[in-house]
Amino acid sequence: MTRRQKDMDANRGYMDKTLIPEQGRLAMTDEAAPDDIPALDEVFFQTPGRLSRALPYALLAAGRRTCTPREMPIAHRFNQHTLIFTLSGKGVLDVNGLSSFLHEGTIAWLDSSMLYSHRCDPRHSHWSYLWLGFIGYGLDTLFDNLGVIANPVFDMTNPRGPRALFAEILDEVKDNAFLADSRCFALLAQLISSLVSERADGGDIGDAVQRLQRVMQVVRADLTHPWTVRELATAANLSQAQLFRRFRQRMGTTPVDWLRHERINAAKPLLVVSDEQVGRIAARCGYPDPFHFARDFKKLVGVTPSEFRRQGRSVRPRES
């Protein structure tokens, strides 16, 4: 458990689904607001239950806010990650002395344990946004790999999807739903995935993803070929050391281990839907030695190929 998670666990005792009442009524629209627009500040706290311990991400708080240039910047320090979706107006985010502008449709990713502040842009009448506070496994690594410190703002190509995810998460927390933990996790995972995809569309990360995708396409087109690391590196136009590093960073595994999983996954449907001999299926998936195939299969799946075939056929619906 990371230091951030331990600190948040210590604070969970007083966290509950609590509403900070709005300071005046406001219709949340995408249109420009008048200079005298009243402020809105709603905050809902989510107390993670037992189920949250089994999930990679846990939502701690969510809210919506509309502020004006007259209001002081927010700079509260928490040991959690925060996502901010701008609905309308414009905001300014300062992190470690670097300023970024937040406009409609953008998402800012903030590690609130860092030195930061955010406020309404003084040149605009208001800044209206939704926000989420959460913790989770691997977030710090993802935060670093996506280069969020240097570029915390994601200019979403299609902001409607992320906006809907923010709204659904907020509704789950507001409604105090019984399965809020699991539902919020599922929605949050989609949201984080969209940020990864958005950032991977360009720059060094985009180049890394494209190179790995090229390798995957080449391998999947011919699993019977006895692929070597040298050939995989050539397909990616990388050195072998670069290939290993890229696979570790983006896939969390080595090229050889990824190839092993690909071959075993390709064999699974063949075992269930065909009557072909196990040895021939092994050869079709890149295992000329059936004993090597059986050993890898049991190591990764937990049962032998023959046992997997029996189990798979026992759950298939009978043809009428």
What are the pLDDT digits (tens) for 137-161?
888 888 887 888 888 999 888 899 9
**Among the listed residues 48, 84, 81, the one whose alpha carbon sits nearest the alpha carbon of residue 65:** 84
CATH superfamily of 3-200: Regulatory protein AraC (2.60.120.280)
The tens digit of pLDDT for each residue in 125-136 reads 999 999 999 998
pTM of the entire predicted model = 0.58
- Span 243-252, average pLDDT: 77
* pLDDT for 27: 36
H or E, element range at 218: helix 203-221
Beta bridge partners of 134: 59, 81
- Span 219-231, average pLDDT: 92
- Measured on CA atoms in the order 244, 142, 206, 168, is the torsion positive or negative? positive
Domain 206-315 classification at class level:
mainly alpha
Residues of the chain with CATH 2.60.120.280: 3-200
Residues of the chain with CATH 1.10.10.60: 206-315
Do 114 and 82 form a contact (C-beta atoms < 8 A)?
no
Q: 270 exposed, middle or buried (CB, 10 Å; 0-12, 13-18, 19+)?
A: middle
**Among the listed residues 209, 170, 174, 200, the one whose alpha carbon sits nearest the alpha carbon of residue 188:** 170
φ/ψ (deg, to 5) at 273: -95, -10
- State percent of the chain over pLDDT 70: 79
